Structure 1
């Protein structure tokens, strides 16, 4: 179980991130700087294994949310630099929650409960169907309206399942 933390803001810079001395990973890693307009700035290291919801391209000026492992070690620098596990280009048409969901389909922070319908797409990160029950797993949940209860309840449009630790 990954302890997902997030940071939301506007992309202010995208640049190549050097990972080695021999240029082996040259061009494969990016550094995406995100500013939340309240004075906080974060750099996300984006690797080939970073999952982009809907496989979108992000550009300077886009509103994004980056998810990272809150328990992973990070360099003690400013601005903070986190290894992005999941990146979301924010949209007013859908909500995204990245978290661990228990056997009752409640997120680890207790803020969202899922009700799966026959129309909910449940897929792996590679886009293939997931044919088991997605309980007790790390999930990316894409959903629309939710109740105002605690936990909020929703019927997700799509669930992306992390089957193994890819990060």
Structure 2
């Protein structure tokens, strides 16, 4: 997947109707970046929320979506959210494909591992294989100023 993100403040959350048997299971989350741009994220039951955070209107969030997925040609743009992260001052989140050298698909971040790095599946269980050549949700703090920036993540969630 080609992951892109959009960050801003949640301005509203409402039900998104798809079928009667799924009533209330899908949400439409409007996010405004404060510079005149708004995106509507469709939040599905399978959308992964980092730290399983509860998001309400007024929260700053970053939504990650597949840039190659088809989308309706409407305004504001409407994307199917794959991952949502509630912003935190000392924590960063990146969702990307990481290659065998643990460099992100956009070449901007390289992962270094420590014994304290948690390696998990989306369901919270331990992942016991190599996370190389996979789509990952990476939760990290400080980075180097190199290109690519390097970090030792707190947590890596493998997207199977």
TM-score normalised by L of structure 1:
0.95
Residue among 103, 110, 114 paired with 1:113: 110
Structure number with higher strand proportion: 2
Whether 1:154 aligns to 2:148 is: no
Distance across 2 between alignment mates of 1:144 and 1:9: 20
In the alignment, structure 1 segments of 5+ residues that lack a partner are: none
Gapped runs of 5+ residues in structure 2? Answer: none
SS state of the match for residue 49, structure 1?
Answer: strand
Q: CA deviation at 1:37?
A: 0.7
Post-superposition shift, 1:43? Answer: 0.2
Instruction: Provide the secondary structure at the position in 1 that maps to 2:22.
Output: coil
Separation of aligned partners in 1, 2:57 and 2:159:
28
Q: Secondary structure at the match of 2:51?
A: helix
2:87 corresponds in structure 1 to 90
Q: 1:78-103 CA deviation, whole Å, 9 max, x = no partner?
A: 00000000000000021111000000
Q: Cα RMSD (Å) of the superposition?
A: 0.5
Q: How many aligned residue pairs are there?
A: 160
Whether 2:65 is the aligned partner of 1:68: answer: yes
Which residue of structure 2 aligns with residue 14 of structure 1?
A: 13
Distance 1:54 1:78 in 2: 30
TM-score by length of 2: 0.99
Runs of 4+ deviating beyond 3 Å = none
